[in-house]
Each structure stands twice: as C-alpha cells, then as structure tokens.
Amino acid sequence: MLIDTHCHLFSEYYEDIDSVIKRAYDNGVGVVVVNGCDDKSNREVLELVKKYDIVYGALGIQPGEIGHINDESFKFIEDHINDDKIIAIGEIGLDYHYDYDRKLQRRVFERQLGIAVKYNKPVIVHSRDCIQETYDILKSFNVTGIMHCYSGSVEMAYEFNKIGFLLGIGGVCTFKNAKNIVEVIKKIDLEYIVLETDAPYLTPEPYRGGRNEPANVVVIAKKICELKGLKFKEVSEATTRNVLRLFDKYINL
Ligand code: NI
C-alpha cells in the first residue's frame, strides 16, 4: 500500500474527485492526505475526510495565502484540529521565492507551529529559498513532521531528520534537470522518506504538463526504486511504515 502525504484535491482543480479517488485506490494508494491552504480549502478538507474512507486531512494556511486571512482563520484550525481524521497542521511554512511579506509569513508560520505544539500534532511544511531559516524556526519549536517537496541539500536533510522531520519526495525527482533531490534520495536512508504528489501540481514525468493526481505516487515510488536500487515492495512498505510511525495516533488502518 502507498500513501500520498501531500495533495490538494479541491473543487477549484477537480470536477471529478470521485474518479480521482477511485483511481488512487485502484493503484494501491491506501491513504491520501489532503492539505488545506486557506479558509476555503480548509473547509473542503473537513468535507473530504468525511466523504472518502482513504482521505485524511491537514489544516493550515500556506505562505501564499497570508494576505487573505484573519483571526478567524486560526480559530477555525484550532476548532477542528482534533476532528476525526485530521492528522496535521499543513500546508504551512515560508516561501521567499515570491514577494510575500516575509515578516508576516514568519508570524503566520510561528502562530500555526504554536497550535501544533499545543495540540501535539505533526506539521507539513513548505519551504522555498529559505531552508536554513525554516530549519531554525522548526528547531525552536518542539514539533515533528514532513518537509514537503524537500529541496535542500543532503547535509541539511540529515539535520531535519535529527529533529524529527521526514522528507516528502514528489514529482521533481522525475524531472530531467533534477540533480539535488536525486542526490538526497540516493544518500538518505529510506526510513526518512515519504511519498507525495502535491497534486494538482508537480506532475511527474512522463505525464509532466498534465494535471497531477494521487494515483501518480506509484510513479514516484518507482523512481525511488530505480535511484536506490530497491524493489517496489521495499519502497512501498517502508514509506508507508514511516508515515504510520509519524502519525501513529491519528491513522489507524
Ligand atoms: Ni502543496
């Protein structure tokens, strides 16, 4: 069984969520973790976890959405963080690639990390062009979780592992220009790797350019097999075990 630890199955991207879920299930994906990004998508997360057995949820405000939130947005997350099948705070983090107010990004990130600590929930973290700063902030909070779409160095990966973070590996590792992440996959022990699609984004080769969906974690798993010289069963079992270890209190299969 495979687990997609990060996707965004929201109505703004998909008109056919029933068939997307069915294709995931038919391809051996047993758990799909839908990550909220803003007020609207966080509400949809709650509906999706009720509607589909294999869907679990994370609630969070993503750095790109910090201009559209207020105190109610945080209250909503806190009010629902202990709902059935809500396993994490995510997607949260820092993005210095775009021109979003950095001070506000840090404030929103830290406020959500505070909620994670308070309710003892793992976090699913987005970090772009600011890996060291993300690490420093996470280290200062007593949290564990997943570095979604990990894009740092091998050395940095070891540091994240030491403070209780797993590395989310997705479609980028299949891209022809992928170098960094290929090195990370080769060097880092399988027990620190989890799979993700980030659907509808980051569609893996050979489907790049089309819409992504959770069934494509199979493609990611196969790429990891190729890079590490392992059998499919080894990668699927280990990555699933890693997710269950992190979320042991919240996912019961
Ligand atoms: Ni995402």
Confidence of residue 242 (pLDDT cuts 50, 70, 90): very high
Q: What's the gap in Å between 159 CA and the centre of ligand 1?
A: 22
Share of the chain above pLDDT 70, in %: 100
Which structure tokens are listed for 246? 């992190």
pLDDT tens-digit profile of 119-175? 999 999 999 999 999 999 999 999 999 999 999 999 999 999 999 999 999 999 999
Q: What's the gap in Å between 6 CA and the centre of ligand 1?
A: 6
Note the pLDDT of residue 252.
81
Contact 70, 104 (CB under 8 A): no
Confidence of residue 192 (pLDDT cuts 50, 70, 90): very high
Find, among 118, 91, 117, 88, the residue nearest to 105 by Cα: 91
| Model confidence at 240: pLDDT above 90 | yes
Enumerate residues 6+ apart whose C-beta is below 8 A from 92: 60, 61, 62, 63, 108, 109, 112, 113, 123, 124, 125, 126
Q: What's the gap in Å between 238 CA and the centre of ligand 1?
A: 23
Note the pLDDT of residue 253.
80
Per-residue pLDDT, averaged over 176-189, amounts to 96
Residue 221, phi then psi, degrees to nearest 5: -60, -40
Q: What's the gap in Å between 7 CA and the centre of ligand 1?
A: 6
User: Distance from CA of residue 230 to its chain's centroid?
Assistant: 23
Q: What's the gap in Å between 216 CA and the centre of ligand 1?
A: 15
Note the pLDDT of residue 171.
97
Note the pLDDT of residue 69.
94
pLDDT tens-digit profile of 30-63? 999 999 999 999 999 999 999 999 999 999 999 9
Q: What's the gap in Å between 93 CA and the centre of ligand 1?
A: 11
Find, among 34, 97, 29, the residue nearest to 63 by Cα: 97
Angle between helix 180-187 and 154-162 (nearest 10): 50
More confident residue, 253 or 55: 55
**142 by DSSP, 3-state: which?**
coil
Q: Strands of the chain (E only): list them.
A: 2-7, 29-35, 55-59, 86-95, 123-128, 145-147, 165-169, 193-195
Which structure tokens are listed for 208? 């790049």
| Model confidence at 101: pLDDT above 90 | yes
Weakest mean pLDDT among 81-85, 97-101, 198-202: 97-101
Q: What's the gap in Å between 103 CA and the centre of ligand 1?
A: 21
Contact 193, 185 (CB under 8 A): yes
Average of per-residue pLDDT values in the chain: 97
Place of tokens 């509906």: 47
Angle between helix 102-119 and 131-140 (nearest 10): 40
